[in-house]
Amino acid sequence: MAATILIVVIPPILAAGGASTLSGVIANPPNVLFIVIDDLNDWVGCLGGHPQAQTPNLDRLAARGTLFANAHVQAPLCNPSRASVLTGLRPGSTGIYGLIPGIRAVASTTNCVTLPQYFERHGYFTATYGKVFHDASIPPDLQKHEFDIWGPSPDMPLPQKKFVNTPDPIRAMDWGVFPEDDPAQADWITADNAVAQLKSRPANKPFFLAVGFRLPHVPCFASQKWFDRYPPEDQIILPPYLANDRNDVPFFAWYLHWKVPEPRLTWLKEANQWRALVRAYLASTTFMDSQLGRVLDALDASGEASNTVIVAWSDNGWHLGEKDITGKNSLWERSTHVPLIFAGPGVSLGGRCRRPAELLDIYPTLVELCGLSQKSGLEGHSLVPQLKDTNAKRPWPAITTANQGNDSIRTEQWRYIRYGDGSQELYNEQNDHNEWTNLAGDIHYDGLINKLAHWLPKDRPLAPGSAYRTLTQTNGVWYWEGKPIKPEELQD
């Protein structure tokens, strides 16, 4: 009797999260240049958020790829926002809402496969420079498990004395001309390291290079030549502002900006610092953009640009007087709306997509663009259909969560907000982009509100050790951490 030969083909062992330890399923997987910007709102030339904004390098990146003009963050604060992007999970799943804890200190994310880890397990060389993860969110002894190379993340330079004596004396709450020379800036050093890495990349592997710029996060510093690119302070255009804007806004909204170091608009006016801050924000943004340009130029010089997927995004926006506040951590457009640009193979040139997009979508989009095996458990949705056709349908809205139990739903036309006490806001973004008229009290919109409320997150666990404090209201009395407070205290 003839012998029977049985051949068994054993597939590659799957790493955590279902990732093959081999390279992607396409023959020549593209590289990834992953650019993170800190606190940049839509004051970008190609987004038109401010008429004087100068961002030529972000603009040229948008021209060579696709701009998502309606992209929003999962959380309007750096740590929970970055945690969401890098894990592919919403704040309600990670339990991270504040500046602490980091993702490796939270049970739901301790063993999750982060975005750089997923690419490493598919055969990529990975490196990071600058602020990509939130500072200190990954302990030094664990950094080697996130990237092959965890490079320097320099802090912002500080003068010997603050230029602006803000109500909160912390050193970071400052703006002005500093330092004298650009190479002293943190973002210059980060760009230097990224450029060097592009020159010395491994020849036998695709690369995943993460580059994190700190500006225009405060302190808003730039050398004189970047300030000189803008008109004098008395010619700086202020953002659109309505004096009684908050008359129809729920009082609970003040809670999201209470006990924060950023000054109120009332103080900026009294101190004659409003235009100075706007000019410094614009100048520091333009300097950051110049460093992004250095990295793009180095990629072009490397010969790898045609086979590199580039994604550039900001972790949250920033108010500069709108709604009477400066800073972030609101559920309004100025705080949630950020740049999101893709370029490279598989991406349409000069595309502009108005469909709502979330930063949470970055993880699955990169996985698909690079031909990697599908990652299970991600809560975002790939943007590849819109990268091919900017008019492709997209049924999901963009959902933003600010602290536990406060959420925003953003579609192409509407923004719906529900706060922890049940109060609401509704804005028609097509004819009220400044969000000056809250329609939530009009019964004609009750049906729409019920439809939008369907998207509100259901699960809101809180991670142990979270820097999260509670404001409650009982029988008309407000309590902060269990102690009664006066309403006017929230507005100060």
pLDDT tens digit sequence for 316-372: 999 999 999 999 999 999 999 999 999 999 999 999 999 999 999 999 999 999 999
Query: Which residue among the candidates 78, 220, 353, 370 is catalytic per the annotation?
Result: 78
- The answer to whether the pTM exceeds 0.85 is yes
Report the pLDDT value the prediction gives residue 203, as an integer from 0 to 100: 86
Which parts of the chain have pLDDT scores under 50?
1-24
Say whether 134 is catalytic. Answer: yes
Question: What does 152-184 look like in DSSP terms, one character per residue?
Answer: --PPPP--SS-SS--SS--TTS-EEE--SSGGG
Please report the sign of the dihedral spanned by the C-alpha atoms of residue 369, residue 370, residue 373, residue 378. negative
Question: What does 185-235 look like in DSSP terms, one character per residue?
Answer: SHHHHHHHHHHHHHHS--SSS-EEEEEEEEEESSSEEE-HHHHTTS--GGG
The pair of three-digit structure tokens given for residue 475, joined into one six-digit string: 């029988």
- Domain edges within the chain: 31-397
**Distance, CA of 32 to CA of 35 (rounded, Å):** 10
Cβ-based neighbours of 267, under 8 Å, separated by 6 or more: 166, 167, 273
Report the pLDDT value the prediction gives residue 17, as an integer from 0 to 100: 36
Cβ-based neighbours of 3, under 8 Å, separated by 6 or more: none
Contact between 65 and 432 under an 8 Å Cβ cutoff? The reply is: no
* Domain 31-397, CATH homologous superfamily name and number: Alkaline Phosphatase, subunit A (3.40.720.10)
Report the pLDDT value the prediction gives residue 259, as an integer from 0 to 100: 82
Query: Which residue among the candidates 50, 134, 217, 257 is catalytic per the annotation?
Result: 134
Say whether 220 is catalytic. Answer: no
**Distance, CA of 19 to CA of 16 (rounded, Å):** 6
